[in-house]
Amino acid sequence: MNKQDIINRLNSFPYSKSEYWVITGSAMVLYGIREKTHDIDMGCTTVLADQLEKDGYVPSITESGNRKFVIGEDIEIFENWKYGSVEIIDGVPVLSLAGLVEMKQSLGREKDYRDISLIKEFMEKPNK
C-alpha cells in the first residue's frame, strides 16, 4: 500500500479519527520515509476498542493485556498503543516521529533498528 492507498482506506474507515492513530510502517509511508507497506497498523483508544468489540470484531489479547483487532485483510488495531503525540497528515492522525522512534525502540527487532535509522535520517533533512 502506498500513501494514497492508506489515505483512501482510512477515509472509508467508519470510525472517528479522534479515536485512532496510524503507527509503525504505515506511519512511515504517510510521512514519506518509505514508499509502501503491506498493511495499516493503528493504535486506538479504549472507547474505539469497546465499539469494535460491540460491532462484532473479536479481539485477541496482547502481551501487555490490551486488545488487538484485525479488520479485513489490511488493518490491525492495537488498543492504547501510543508513544508521544499524534500529528495530522493529509487528514489522517499519525503518531509523531519521536513517538515512532520510541515505539520501535521498545519493539527492539532488527527491522525496527533499521527503521529508527531511516526516521532519524528523515528528521535531520531540511524541509522535510
Provide the pLDDT for residue 126.
77
Provide the pLDDT for residue 107.
85
Provide the pLDDT for residue 125.
85
Q: Which of 12-16, 20-24, 85-89, 106-110 has the lowest mean pLDDT?
A: 106-110
Tell me the backbone φ, ψ of residue 97, rounded to 5 degrees: -60, -45
The DSSP code for 58 is: P
Q: What is the CATH number of domain 3-124?
A: 3.30.460.40
Tell me the backbone φ, ψ of residue 67, rounded to 5 degrees: -85, 145
Ranges of each domain in the chain: 3-124
Q: Residue 77, Cα to own-chain centre: how many angstroms? A: 8
pLDDT bracket for residue 127 (50, 70, 90): low
Q: Could you report the per-residue pLDDT of 57-75, keeping only the tens digit for each? A: 999 999 889 999 999 999 9
